[in-house]
Amino acid sequence: MAFHPVAEPAGSVSATTALIQAAIDRCHSDGGGLVVLVGGRRFVCGTLHLRSGVELLLESGCVLAASRDQADFQERAFGGEYGGSSGSFLILAEDCQNVAITGPGTIDGDSLAWMKGWRDPEGRYIRDPKDWRPRGIGLYFCSGVRLEQFTMRDIAQWTIHLTGCDDVVCHALTIRNRLDVPNCDGIDPDRCRNVRISDCHIEAGDDGIVLKNTRQFAGRGDCTDIVISNCTIVSTSAGLKIGTESHGDFRRIAMTGCVIRGSHRGLAIQLRDHGTVEDILFANCLIETRHFHGGWWGHGEPVAITAMPRDGSTVPGRIRRVRLAGLMLRGENGIVIHGNDRAPIEDLTLDGIDLEIEQRSRWPGGQLDLRPRFGAEHGGSEPHPNPGVLLRHGRNLTLRHVAVRWRGTPQPWWSHAIDAADIVGLEMSACTGIAGKAGLPAVLRQRCTAEDG
């Protein structure tokens, strides 16, 4: 196995980039092996291209830092059935086999260098990016991918984007992005298969881990056979999410044993396109959510599963065979399960759910956030009472051992423990809880039947 150490940065950003790239290219030409960035050094560079058979090892104390000059990055266009996409990455791999990035060193994206101010008038909650900003790691159409035991911090946009990849391991990664930088998702598997993400810690100013089927890469397969386990996540949007880009199917996905805290939304499925989401398991997670600035999607829901048309031409897909079990939830809002009249949510089970609702932040509740949503008067987030569990437009929904509790000062937007409407086949057993507002029944059913048919 070839071994290529890079002991010192060169005299300029372009020279350092060329030095590391030459080591990667030589290692690939030698049949594969290790390229080692030596510990205790800071390497500032532009785009690096990873090659098949190469492991990029960042030793302890090593920092691989993004240049502050756009000219040091290579804009890469990727073809696709619908025109593809383009972007610039600090590390990029295309059509590679058996590639790896390992630690324990650090990749620094220097995100504040790519911000120009604030989007919110208070100047505290959402930064305003410049017209261009680099991304972190982009792996396109690769197989045999291993990302292990390194840290990424202050990435300006999309930390790790995996597109059309097969056989991926992401293990023991630490991602610490700023919570006020938009679109700096943690890990984004996009049309990927056989993915295992485990034992990671992620802080992201957007979704922590989000599965996508983007329109641009329709010929690259769907998201299937994915396991996410034992991760800790903090997010100003959703901790773990499927969607919104759902131009293909999501199948056989398990998210288990994770802790999500301080997040705008916990577990989410946002189906907005024609894809199908089925055979999904969320289990044994601890989740704490809160309200936050309205510019971030979400409204403090520990669980939000929604199916809405993205635009007027969308024929909605289906969400079916979803099981949520063994969840301990604490939030400023309740659970939202919301289909639509053309795409009811089917065969969904809530089993062993402990939900506690308490207002703790300064941000008010009383909203139902279904963004993005076609034809919505309020852009998709609208005034609405907040029950413990909201069920809309479903078929064969089962609630077992669901407990709803309200804590602290009662809020004017609190309502029923369970509020169900337009459900065909609603089964509830061993559920407990009272309404959050005096005088309301614990359970409200409208246009619901107990059995399908």
Q: Among 48, 41, 86, which Cα is nearest to 66's?
A: 48
Cα angle at 93 between 180 and 216, to 5 degrees? 70
**Residue 69, helix vs strand vs coil:** coil
Query: So what's the pLDDT on residue 403?
Result: 99
| CA separation for the pair 179, 113 (Å, rounded) | 15
**Residue 198, helix vs strand vs coil:** strand
Q: pLDDT tens across 223-280, in order?
A: 999 999 999 999 999 999 999 999 999 999 999 999 999 999 999 999 999 999 999 9
Query: So what's the pLDDT on residue 76?
Result: 82
Query: So what's the pLDDT on residue 295?
Result: 87
Length of the chain: 453
**β-pair type (381-383, 367-369):** antiparallel
Q: Among 445, 367, 379, 380, which Cα is nearest to 413's?
A: 367
pLDDT at 378 over 70: no
**Distant-in-sequence, close-in-space partners of 11: CB < 8 Å, separation ≥ 6:** none
Confidence of residue 312 (pLDDT cuts 50, 70, 90): confident
Q: pLDDT tens across 417-441, in order?
A: 999 999 999 999 999 999 999 999 9
The fraction of the chain above a pLDDT of 90, given in percent, is 88
Is the N-terminal amide bond of 244 cis, ω within 30° of 0?
yes
Query: So what's the pLDDT on residue 304?
Result: 98
Retrieve residue 203's tokens: 């802080």
Query: So what's the pLDDT on residue 405?
Result: 99
Retrieve residue 224's tokens: 């299937």
E strands present in 332-429 = 335-338, 345-358, 367-369, 381-383, 389-407, 418-429
Q: Give the number of other CB atoms < 10 A from CB of residue 78.
A: 18
Q: Give the number of other CB atoms < 10 A from CB of residue 353.
A: 23
Residue whose pair of structure tokens reads 């949007």 in the numeric block: 237
Confidence of residue 3 (pLDDT cuts 50, 70, 90): confident
User: 264 — phi, psi (to 5°)?
Assistant: -75, -25
Give the rounded distance of the alpha carbon of 126 from its chain centre: 18
Retrieve residue 45's tokens: 């560079």
Tell me which DSSP letter residue 13 carries.
H
Task: Indicate the burial class of 137 (C-beta count within 10 angstroms; 0-12, 13-18, 19 or more).
Answer: buried
**Residue 219, helix vs strand vs coil:** helix
Q: Among 139, 59, 73, which Cα is nearest to 107's?
A: 59
User: 219 — phi, psi (to 5°)?
Assistant: -85, 5
Rg, the chain, Cα only: 23
pLDDT at 396 over 50: yes
Q: pLDDT tens across 93-118, in order?
A: 999 999 999 999 999 999 999 999 99
**Distant-in-sequence, close-in-space partners of 439: CB < 8 Å, separation ≥ 6:** none
pLDDT at 316 over 50: yes
pTM, to two decimals: 0.96
